[in-house]
């Protein structure tokens, strides 16, 4: 396929939401089976980092709308992948760059999407789409070159992400080890990002284990700490992880990010609720309650800890846009978590100190091996 937008290569595509709202555009990326791709449609506000977003396993089951109008201008490269392959169902953009220009670039975004089998639609009025999602909430949708009636039927048939165990589709099948730091950490892989492993590897020798690993198997590895990773979907479907975390609390220091934070909160008795359209972007202001400092953070989640539902701990961070709980800490055992992403590739890095906080917690509660 030629570069998108070149004469003779335009293929009309449509995006149809479950409520019937329809957008016209141009097919880019891979060709989905039968000309139909679908999933829960969400929007992300990042200005850069589109490759990191697309390869984040937390987007399993979702179609990503980029609010920034110009996507693909600096190309792609292998070093920026957050996982082995994209888990998202597709991408929606206003304009897919016809030329890439960056000294690190190894290829173009359109060819990269085709290589990984990710379909896309360009030329969409993403401002209108984003406003609609903000008003109506994230909802299933379908897009592709099939006729609008077929796409509408596919959108209505999409289950969304509620009640679906998406973690099982992105977790590792076998344990593996990375890093060589002084501590020993077991990291639960609910959809773990490469940049998180990079940060943890600077602190510890990290053994990454499948999401369904029982607590007894983790404790048998005699770790200094346990890390709970990010991941996709509804935490209510990962009850096996909540059970394991509950058995680990008080036995070993625990640190959770994003889904890991939600699962930690659930193990501490908190209630998890779905947000209307989630938080997806690299510019969310969060207040750190211990000193009032404001951090700009990277976020990617559709669920959150319900305000006032945590009885066995305290809230440590709050989102300044809408008051959503952004961080918690147990008051009786060494455990804490944050909803945002302190590893944030490519940024911001305001919250990166949390990895040092985890190291301090492990040092304070160190036990002889």
Q: What is the largest CA-CA distance in the chain?
A: 69
Q: Would you say 281 and 49 are in contact if contact means Cβ atoms under 8 Å apart?
A: no
Catalytic-labelled residue, pool 207, 295, 326, 343: 343
Active site annotation includes 261: no
Active site residue 341: yes
Q: Map residue 302 onto helix, strand or coil.
A: strand
CA distance 199 to 217: 24
Q: What is the DSSP letter of 289?
A: T
Distances from the Cα of 236 to the Cαs of 49, 227, 271, 312, in angstroms?
29, 19, 10, 19
In whole angstroms, give the CA distance from residue 360 to residue 224. Answer: 11
Find the helix or strand (DSSP H, E) in which 277 lies.
strand 272-288
DSSP result, 62-129: EEEEE-SSEESTT-B-GGG-SSSS--SSEEE-SEE-SS---TT--B-HHHHHHHTT-EEEES--HHHH
Query: How many C-alpha atoms does 331 have within 13 Å on its Cβ side?
Result: 7
Q: Which of 276, 272, 281, 228 is nearest to 252 (CA)?
A: 228
Q: Which of 199, 258, 301, 326 is catalytic?
A: 258
CA angle, residues 43, 48, 51, in degrees to nearest 5 = 80
Cα separation of 304 and 167, whole Å?
A: 17
Tell me, yes or no, if 369 is annotated catalytic: no
CA angle at residue 365 from 360 to 366, to 5 degrees?
Answer: 95
Instruction: Provide long-range contacts, Cβ within 8 A and 24+ apart, for 218-224.
Output: 218/186, 218/244, 218/248, 218/252, 219/248, 219/251, 219/252, 221/184, 221/186, 222/184, 222/369, 223/184, 223/185, 223/186, 223/252, 224/183, 224/184, 224/185, 224/252, 224/253, 224/362, 224/366, 224/367
Q: Which residues are catalytic?
A: 258, 341, 343
């Amino acid at each position: 396929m030629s570069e998108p937008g070149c004469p003779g290569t335009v293929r009309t595509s449509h995006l149809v939401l479950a409520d019937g709202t329809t957008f016209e555009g141009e097919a880019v990326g891979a060709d989905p089976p039968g000309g139909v791709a679908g999933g829960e449609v969400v929007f992300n506000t990042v200005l850069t980092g589109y490759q990191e977003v697309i390869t984040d396993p937390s987007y399993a089951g979702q179609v990503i709308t980029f609010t920034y109008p110009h996507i693909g201008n600096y190309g792609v490269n292998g070093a920026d992948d957050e996982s082995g392959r994209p888990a998202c169902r597709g991408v929606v953009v206003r304009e897919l760059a016809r030329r890439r220009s960056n000294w690190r670039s190894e290829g173009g975004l359109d060819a990269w999407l085709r290589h990984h089998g990710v379909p896309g639609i360009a030329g969409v009025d993403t401002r209108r789409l984003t406003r609609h999602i903000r008003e109506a909430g994230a909802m299933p949708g379908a897009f592709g070159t099939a006729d609008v009636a077929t796409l509408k039927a596919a959108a209505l048939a999409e289950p969304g992400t509620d009640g679906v165990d998406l973690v099982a589709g992105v977790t590792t099948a076998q344990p593996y080890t990375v890093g060589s730091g002084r501590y020993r950490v077991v990291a639960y892989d609910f959809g773990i990002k490469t940049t998180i492993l990079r940060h943890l590897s600077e602190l510890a020798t990290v053994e990454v284990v499948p999401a369904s690993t029982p607590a007894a198997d983790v404790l048998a590895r005699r770790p200094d700490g346990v890390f709970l990773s990010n991941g996709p979907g509804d935490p209510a479907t990962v009850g096996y992880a909540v059970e394991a975390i509950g058995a680990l609390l008080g036995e070993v220091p625990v640190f959770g990010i994003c889904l890991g934070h939600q699962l930690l909160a659930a193990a501490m008795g908190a209630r998890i609720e779905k947000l209307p359209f989630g938080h997806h972007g690299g510019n969310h202001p969060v207040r750190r309650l211990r000193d009032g400092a404001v951090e700009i953070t990277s976020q990617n989640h559709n669920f959150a800890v319900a305000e006032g539902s945590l009885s066995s701990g305290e809230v440590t961070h709050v989102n300044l846009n809408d008051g959503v709980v952004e961080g918690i800490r147990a008051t009786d055992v060494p455990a804490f978590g944050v909803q945002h992403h302190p590893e944030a590739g490519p940024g911001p890095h305001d919250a990166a100190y949390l990895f040092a906080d985890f190291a301090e917690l492990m040092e304070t509660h160190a036990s002889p091996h």
